[in-house]
Structure 1
Amino acid sequence: MVEPFAGGRVTEVLRGPARPNSTGSDGRHDLGRSPRPRREAHGSETGSRESITIRCAVEYDGTEYCGFQRQPAQRTVAGELEAAIAGLLGEPIALTSAGRTDTGVHACGQVVSFTTARIAFPWDRFALALHTRLPRDIRVRDVALVDAAFSARFSALRRRYVYAVLARPLPSALLARYAWHLYRPLDLAAMRAAALPLLGEHDFRSFCGTLPENGNTVRSIESLTIEPQGELLIVRVAANAFLHRMVRTIVGLLAECAMGRRDPGSVAAILSARDRAAAGVTAPAQGLYFAGVAYPDGYDSYVEPPICRG
């Protein structure tokens, strides 16, 4: 049984290489009580040295950051994490992330991985120690030692996002950073009808901001739901991967259909257009949460955002 630690949970995962298109078992033990983990030797010009790979689940309030990805002269989530981890471990750290969130986007289930030579570090206290170096709006909630082949990005099978819409006449001071306020009445049935053609594998070029480096805009949406929760509408979407601003563009289109500005029957044509202008508005960043990532070993970092918890 996994033993919780204040400020983060630590487990050890010893397994074979991650296979993005297959499933596998997940052997977990409390890191403080497990046998010594397998060490991976990495050759270099000065000889070989041993290192281990660490996986972390991370949550953050993205309001004050210029996105997740490290950028020169900009305050980013990755920049803060790398600086804090490097200072704690006493060596440079390069993070791999499951996704790159934009300015103002939040996360409750982001996953990062990194390698380190600090094999003997007391990893059961890593999250606690790291939190003394991180700003209050970034926290590590889960830490695990994983196989050397693991990559937070390339090993991922599924990513899930949640988007919160505050649907009422007047805005909220307390939710202004965490939901998109829409004062017009919303037609939930029209919103759901517009979502149906987006399910499955499609070319989502019409829903892409900046094109990916390889130019491939085909993605597969596994689920897309819209559920009322009091004055909120909660959009949940899961896919194998997402394009730049894809979820926010989808939510923007669904909102336009819900307000009667677009016909839900036009969505199939918007997909076929392969033109970003066809999809219309982009929903604002503050309502979006990177909620979780699933991997072949059974690990899933998904957590409902606090705004969805009642």
Structure 2
Amino acid sequence: MTRYALTLEFDGGPFMGLQRQDHGPSVQQAVEDAVQEFSGQQVRMQSAGRTDAGVHACGMVSHIDLETHLSLFRMREAINACLRPHPIAVTQIEMKPDDWHARFDCTARSYLYKICNRRAPLTFDRGKAWQIPQELDAAAMHDAAQLLTGLHDFTTFRSVNCQSQSPVKTLDLLDVRRNDEWIYVKAEARSFLHHQVRSMVGCLAYVGMGRWDNARISAALEAKDRQALGLNAPPHGLYFVKASYPETEHQSQESTQ
């Protein structure tokens, strides 16, 4: 039995989330079913992060244990063939040590939130970004975002359904940049609370609209109260983009052969 790390890209729109759900389709179930279809083996996929319904990914890292004689290239091709027509793709497969874990060995997670700041309706990016027609001040949003970086109690920005033992987290980066009509919010931390990124983005959008100022962001953070939250941004603008891991003596084999 070999442990394999899978890098996944998916459109979260059709799914109830990444994790297997009792009440609807999930990315995990689709991948596990695809592996069983070509290999005849039941696997349990573990992932670096969890995504809600409608949240996308372009670099989610997961792992499975499987016994196969296929090369990494053939294995990737087989999984992707069995995943059709789901909007999920395995972009890379690596072999890992038996004790390597996609979730517990992950040292940093990166998210990107996309805002389209225009009045004209979205066409190609419908369901892939949050459209805000009011003019947003991205520089003010970035300035306010710096108040949230560092070690804080993020209770205000935490879902009431969050299962994390502590609301205290260290936010390493919260960066807001404009590129024409697009505003990109990048967040990096070792781990995040449930809805934390979406909650922060929603409040920063209020800053961009001129409805909140920096003092209001600070007050919301210091309140440690979900009732102080201004707005929870919708899920379809959020992307899990990267899971980071420490360098090890075991050099993985990329599926480029």
- Say whether the fold is shared (TM-score over 0.5): yes
Aligned to 1:68: 18
| Divergent runs of 4+, >2 A | 119-124, 210-215
> After superposition, what is the alpha-carbon deviation per residue over 1:110-169, rounded to whole angstroms, capped at 9, x for unaligned?
0101112x1533333111111111034100001001011111111000000001100012
Aligned to 1:165: 115
Task: Report the Cα distance in structure 1 between the residues aligned to 2:201 and 2:94, rounded to whole angstroms.
Answer: 34
Aligned to 2:219: 269
Aligned to 1:102: 52
Task: Report the Cα distance in structure 2 between the residues aligned to 1:103 and 1:214, rounded to whole angstroms.
Answer: 19
Of residues 88, 91, 111 in structure 2, which corresponds to 1:138?
A: 88
Is 1:228 matched up with 2:181?
no
- Higher CA-based Rg: 1
Aligned to 1:219: 169
Is 1:247 matched up with 2:197?
yes
Question: Higher mean Cα deviation, 226-235 or 167-176?
Answer: 167-176
Task: Report the Cα distance in structure 1 between the residues aligned to 2:38 and 2:151, rounded to whole angstroms.
Answer: 43
Task: Report the Cα distance in structure 2 between the residues aligned to 1:211 and 1:268, rounded to whole angstroms.
Answer: 23
Mark the CA change 1:231 to 1:276 in structure 2 (over 3 Å): closer, same or farther: same
3-state SS of paired residue (1:133): helix
Question: Is the Cα contact below 8 Å between 1:69 and 1:100 reproduced in 2?
Answer: yes
AA aligned to 1:220 is T
Task: Report the Cα distance in structure 1 between the residues aligned to 2:127 and 2:88, rounded to whole angstroms.
Answer: 15
3-state SS of paired residue (1:191): helix
AA aligned to 2:119 is P
Question: Is the Cα contact below 8 Å between 1:163 and 1:234 reproduced in 2?
Answer: yes
Question: Is the Cα contact below 8 Å between 1:211 and 1:217 reproduced in 2?
Answer: no
3-state SS of paired residue (2:92): strand
Is 1:126 matched up with 2:59?
no
Aligned to 1:237: 187
Mark the CA change 1:110 to 1:210 in structure 2 (over 3 Å): closer, same or farther: farther
Aligned to 1:288: 238
Q: What is the root-mean-square deviation of aligned Cα atoms in Å?
A: 1.5
TM-score, with structure 2 as normaliser: 0.92
Question: Is the Cα contact below 8 Å between 1:62 and 1:107 reproduced in 2?
Answer: yes
When the two structures are aligned, how many residues end up with a matched partner? 248
AA aligned to 2:82 is R
AA aligned to 1:270 is A
AA aligned to 2:58 is C
AA aligned to 2:229 is A
Stretches of structure 1 lacking an aligned partner (at least 5 in a row): 1-50, 300-310
Task: Report the Cα distance in structure 2 between the residues aligned to 1:122 and 1:189, rounded to whole angstroms.
Answer: 48
Question: Is the Cα contact below 8 Å between 2:5 and 2:95 reproduced in 1?
Answer: yes
AA aligned to 2:219 is A
Aligned to 1:199: 149
Question: Is the Cα contact below 8 Å between 1:110 and 1:293 reproduced in 2?
Answer: yes
Task: Report the Cα distance in structure 1 between the residues aligned to 2:51 and 2:219, rounded to whole angstroms.
Answer: 28
Is 1:59 matched up with 2:9?
yes
Is 1:115 matched up with 2:65?
yes
> After superposition, what is the alpha-carbon deviation per residue over 1:68-121, rounded to whole angstroms, capped at 9, x for unaligned?
1101241111110111112222111101011111111110010101112x1533
Task: Report the Cα distance in structure 1 between the residues aligned to 2:204 and 2:164, rounded to whole angstroms.
Answer: 28
Of residues 91, 100, 103 in structure 2, which corresponds to 1:150?
A: 100
Task: Report the Cα distance in structure 2 between the residues aligned to 1:105 and 1:214, rounded to whole angstroms.
Answer: 19
Question: Higher mean Cα deviation, 254-263 or 212-221?
Answer: 212-221
Q: Quote the sequence identity (%).
A: 34
Question: Is the Cα contact below 8 Å between 1:161 and 1:288 reproduced in 2?
Answer: yes
Task: Report the Cα distance in structure 1 between the residues aligned to 2:71 and 2:175, rounded to whole angstroms.
Answer: 42
TM-score, with structure 1 as normaliser: 0.77
> After superposition, what is the alpha-carbon deviation per residue over 1:228-266, rounded to whole angstroms, capped at 9, x for unaligned?
112100111111111111111110000001101112222
Aligned to 2:137: 187
3-state SS of paired residue (2:113): strand
